[in-house]
Structure 1
Amino acid sequence: MTDKIAVPGVTIKELSSGSHPITAAGTSTAAFLVTDAAGGKELLTYPADPNDDRTKSLNAKEKAAVKGFFDNGGSHCHLVARGEVSGATAVANLKMKNVQIIAVPDSALSTDKALLNALATHCKDMGDRMLILSSDQGAMTQEMEKDPLNGVGITGEFKEFTAFYHPWVKPVGAGTGLGGNKVPDTISPVGHIAGVWARVDGERGVFKAPANVALNGVTDVSLALAPDKVGTLNSVGVNCLRVMPGRGVVVWGARTAAAADTALADWKFLNVRRLVCFLEASIKDSVQWAVFEPNDERLWSSLRRDIGAFLTSQWRHGALKGATAAEAFYVQCDQTNQDSNQPGTVFCNIGIAPVRPAEFVQISIQQLTS
């Protein structure tokens, strides 16, 4: 209905475009499983106050991990109680919306199998988060060098939602302090790694592999790794930490724990798995408006337009590979892929070409005769 205009002149009326833009989901909020989380699912934000009551109950390794997270670029993290050995309480506490990174700063692969398995299963079930694990202190056994999670029991598709790092690191100020504030000599790197993920997400995007990045707040690794050992571990999905001259401790790997599983070759790289988690969460959260809309071409067209615009923006940012948007992705939602036997269901098929990291750079040098 046209509004009645009483005064001569030009009148402008703004109309809705009818579009429903896809809002980018978060990628870098961490949840640390701790032995005593005062208040439960408490959220800490950068900069963290060392005298905050929520951190006073943490043990030394947990405090160092939280500090490492913030030192390396993290801005938001939850402290979640571990609960009993089975991990049931931990999983129940983790079922919050805005968490994409999970780590257990003070855990042991040998004694916390049930908890770590529960967390890996939780990440797979939720589909929008990943678990960061590390080796135990010291060298890895020969069995672990073949399959780092073999002794833990995390297998198959659950590995693609898990990232594994080795070795431990020496934090700044190691050995200083008194009582519960004494800085440990060595710690698991999971808190620092979570911070690196957050830093790379903010500086480049979740599509960028979180590797070839120096760790802040550490002075050395607990165990130096020879280049051939790094190569061996990398092939089975162990992301190594190395000391580089002039750079300090550097993350030298960006694979999931499923890297050696040929059946899961699509999920070999950490940034690919996290990118797809991000895209799925963004699209899922942003198309809720479509539920109960008339299931016809108008709805299909709207979904194609909105999802296509979002993926186009991701392609322009460098997340998807292709000289054109058509090479980078497709969105199919039309009469050709709807099921007449399920009239109440909209089918929207999406294909993407994620960018994979250049792990190996080969340079050939040839002498030219004069």
Structure 2
Amino acid sequence: MVSPIRSFIEADALFNQNGTSLNLVRGFPGKGIKVWGCRTLDNLPGSPWRYIQTRRLVSYIEAHITRLGRAFIFEPNNAITWMKLKGQTYNWLHQLWLKGGLSGTQEERAFDILLGVNESMSEADLRAGKMIMKIKLALLIPAEFIELNLTFDARTGITGLN
């Protein structure tokens, strides 16, 4: 048998120590032992990264769009390639929005994709062989966006976040 580290009476003192969030491990009758909570250690007011679900969804979106972009790494870095990648990304984000993964009653309040010179990259980025995509996502509140910057580098074949 495992005994608790703190008694129930002392548990109130654990909340908001040093201003951080805690996800307690608790036993629930009939359900077993569960992690109770969903917050990260980022406890800044208004921070989109306060919740584990937000981080997990953004990581999933980054991974999927990075996979989409890898197909275009060795394509010419021009408007046609940007339109193809932007279209595939749009279709995927649109489906995610329809399934309820993004907030907003209209697409433009749920996500936005920027890809092109003077939108997401400069002429210097273009000459350096970089294709940079900026994606704005409304995860918690419509029209309040988390911005992702994905870079696809044709010279090295490496993709990554900025």
Both structures adopt the same fold (TM-score exceeding 0.5): yes
Q: Check if 1:327 corresponds to 2:109.
A: yes
Q: How many residues align?
A: 137
> Shift of the alpha carbon at 1:232?
3.0
Percent of aligned positions that are identical: 26
Alignment match, 1:114? none
In structure 1, C-alpha distance between the alignment counterparts of 2:53 and 2:18, rounded to whole Å: 15
- Counterpart of 1:255, as a letter, is R
Match of 1:345 among 130, 138, 143: 130
In structure 1, C-alpha distance between the alignment counterparts of 2:93 and 2:51, rounded to whole Å: 20
Structure (1 or 2) with the larger CA radius of gyration: 1
Look up the SS of the partner of 1:350 in the other structure: strand
Look up the SS of the partner of 1:258 in the other structure: coil
8 Å contact kept, 2:90–2:113 = yes
Q: Check if 1:257 corresponds to 2:41.
A: yes
In structure 1, C-alpha distance between the alignment counterparts of 2:104 and 2:14, rounded to whole Å: 32
> Shift of the alpha carbon at 1:275?
1.2
Alignment match, 1:237? 21
Closer/same/farther in 2, CA of residues 240 and 350 from structure 1, 3 Å limit: same
> 5+ unaligned residues in a row in structure 2: which ranges?
142-162
Does 1 or 2 have the higher relative contact order (CA < 8 Å, sep 6+)?
1
Look up the SS of the partner of 2:102 in the other structure: coil
In structure 1, C-alpha distance between the alignment counterparts of 2:33 and 2:92, rounded to whole Å: 37
Closer/same/farther in 2, CA of residues 348 and 235 from structure 1, 3 Å limit: same
- Counterpart of 1:324, as a letter, is Q
Alignment match, 1:276? 58
In structure 1, C-alpha distance between the alignment counterparts of 2:37 and 2:99, rounded to whole Å: 23
Closer/same/farther in 2, CA of residues 315 and 244 from structure 1, 3 Å limit: same
In structure 1, C-alpha distance between the alignment counterparts of 2:18 and 2:87, rounded to whole Å: 41
Closer/same/farther in 2, CA of residues 286 and 253 from structure 1, 3 Å limit: same
> Shift of the alpha carbon at 1:248?
4.5
- Counterpart of 2:125, as a letter, is Q
Alignment match, 2:152? none
> Shift of the alpha carbon at 1:221?
5.5
> Shift of the alpha carbon at 1:246?
5.2
In structure 1, C-alpha distance between the alignment counterparts of 2:60 and 2:111, rounded to whole Å: 15
> 5+ unaligned residues in a row in structure 1: which ranges?
1-184, 187-219, 357-370
Look up the SS of the partner of 2:136 in the other structure: strand
In structure 2, C-alpha distance between the alignment counterparts of 1:264 and 1:324, rounded to whole Å: 23
> Shift of the alpha carbon at 1:305?
0.7
8 Å contact kept, 2:68–2:85 = no
Look up the SS of the partner of 1:327 in the other structure: helix
TM-score with structure 2 length normalisation? 0.69
Matches within 5 A, 1:9-158: none
In structure 2, C-alpha distance between the alignment counterparts of 1:312 and 1:234, rounded to whole Å: 40
Q: CA RMSD in A?
A: 2.9
Deviation digits for residues 24-79 of structure 1 (CA, Å, limit 9, x no counterpart) = xxxxxxxxxxxxxxxxxxxxxxxxxxxxxxxxxxxxxxxxxxxxxxxxxxxxxxxx
> Shift of the alpha carbon at 1:341?
2.2
Look up the SS of the partner of 2:58 in the other structure: helix
> Shift of the alpha carbon at 1:293?
1.0
Match of 1:311 among 93, 98, 118: 93
Look up the SS of the partner of 2:112 in the other structure: strand
Match of 1:286 among 45, 49, 68: 68
In structure 2, C-alpha distance between the alignment counterparts of 1:339 and 1:308, rounded to whole Å: 22
Over 6 Å off, 4+ runs: none
Look up the SS of the partner of 1:322 in the other structure: coil
Deviation digits for residues 300-340 of structure 1 (CA, Å, limit 9, x no counterpart) = 11111111111112222222111122211100113432311
8 Å contact kept, 1:332–1:348 = yes
Structure with higher strand content: 2
- Counterpart of 2:64, as a letter, is S
8 Å contact kept, 1:258–1:264 = no
8 Å contact kept, 1:234–1:253 = no
Look up the SS of the partner of 1:299 in the other structure: helix
